């Protein structure tokens, strides 16, 4: 399994960044994660409860994480 941590991703958020963070952590498309939460909501209402709990528990992704590159892909030199 990967060594990444679970964070809310505020760069690709719709409401709180929970689905975006889960998508990054699980290497899934964010749209699939959002559709899973919508399906859970309509199939008993548990999607909203899970989303709110994760919103409270998950920390926001810091702008700098030790060991990761600071440069963005678009800032790298093209040769």
Domain extents in the chain: 1-63
Does residue 55 contact residue 16 with C-beta atoms inside 8 Å? yes
Please tell me the predicted confidence (pLDDT) of residue 72.
Answer: 54
Please tell me the predicted confidence (pLDDT) of residue 76.
Answer: 54
pLDDT per position as a tens digit, 27-43: 888 899 889 988 988 99
Please tell me the predicted confidence (pLDDT) of residue 47.
Answer: 83
The residue assigned the tokens 């309509």 is: 42
Ranges in the chain, pLDDT < 50: 1
């Amino acid at each position: 399994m990967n060594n990444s941590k679970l964070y809310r991703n505020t760069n690709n958020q719709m409401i709180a960044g929970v689905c975006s963070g889960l998508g990054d952590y699980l290497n899934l498309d964010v749209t699939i994660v959002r559709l899973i939460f919508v399906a859970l909501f309509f199939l008993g209402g548990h999607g909203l409860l899970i989303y709110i709990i994760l919103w409270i528990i998950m920390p926001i992704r810091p702008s700098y994480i030790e060991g990761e590159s600071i440069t963005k892909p678009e800032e790298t030199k093209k040769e």
